């Protein structure tokens, strides 16, 4: 099984990029993780934010491989503990499909993206910068793989 993180936004700060790269390396055997960065829709004075979100949604959907289990990161989604995420990971493995995790733009996901998602995952009630969400997601996926493998990284 492979995973793809499709994220609106480009040019992570170096500390985020380095942290993401570290967890991506750690995941390389258990759950190879590919990052696909998409250009944000045009926003600002005289621009239509709804149109920007629709453009981002179209780009996300175009970047999805066929027959992929889609998990949209969404503040209204279900929250999982690290142990519950590990159980999700087991279920995803048993289903035998690749995974795609989606991070939207500043206004969230377009309705079409949420309709395509098989699941919606919330990292909790805090508002996090989308760049930081990439790092948290990668760390939590790594943590879930170590829980499944019985590795001592997760000390619960």
Q: Are 28 and 59 in contact (CB under 8 A)?
A: no
**Does 105 carry a binding-site annotation?**
no
**Does 114 carry a binding-site annotation?**
no
Q: Are 120 and 71 in contact (CB under 8 A)?
A: yes
**Does 33 carry a binding-site annotation?**
no
**Does 102 carry a binding-site annotation?**
no
**Does 126 carry a binding-site annotation?**
yes
Positions of E strands within the chain? 3-8, 33-38, 68-79, 98-103, 119-122
**Does 124 carry a binding-site annotation?**
yes
Token pair listed for 122: 């919330």
**Does 128 carry a binding-site annotation?**
yes
The DSSP secondary-structure symbol of 99 reads E
Q: Are 70 and 39 in contact (CB under 8 A)?
A: no
How far is residue 104's CA from residue 107's CA, in Å, rounded to a whole number?
A: 7
CA angle centred on 52, ends 77 and 3, rounded to 5°: 45
Residue 31 three-state SS: coil
**Does 61 carry a binding-site annotation?**
no
Residue list, annotated binding site for S-adenosyl-L-methionine: 73, 104, 123-128
Residue list, annotated binding site: 73, 104, 123-128
């Amino acid at each position: 099984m492979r995973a793809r993180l499709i994220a609106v936004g480009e040019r992570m700060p170096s500390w985020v990029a380095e942290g993401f790269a570290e967890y991506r390396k750690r995941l390389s055997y258990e759950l190879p993780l590919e990052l696909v960065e998409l250009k944000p829709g045009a926003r600002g004075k005289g621009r239509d934010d709804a149109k920007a979100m629709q453009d981002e949604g179209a780009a996300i959907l175009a970047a999805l491989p066929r027959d992929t289990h889609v998990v949209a990161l969404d503040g209204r989604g279900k929250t999982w503990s690290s142990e519950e995420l590990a159980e999700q990971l087991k279920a995803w493995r048993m289903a035998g499909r690749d995974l795609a995790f989606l991070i939207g733009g500043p206004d969230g996901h377009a309705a079409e993206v949420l309709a395509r998602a098989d699941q919606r995952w919330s990292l909790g009630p805090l508002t996090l910068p989308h760049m930081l969400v990439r790092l948290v997601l990668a760390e939590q996926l790594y943590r879930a793989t170590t829980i499944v493998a019985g590795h001592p990284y997760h000390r619960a």
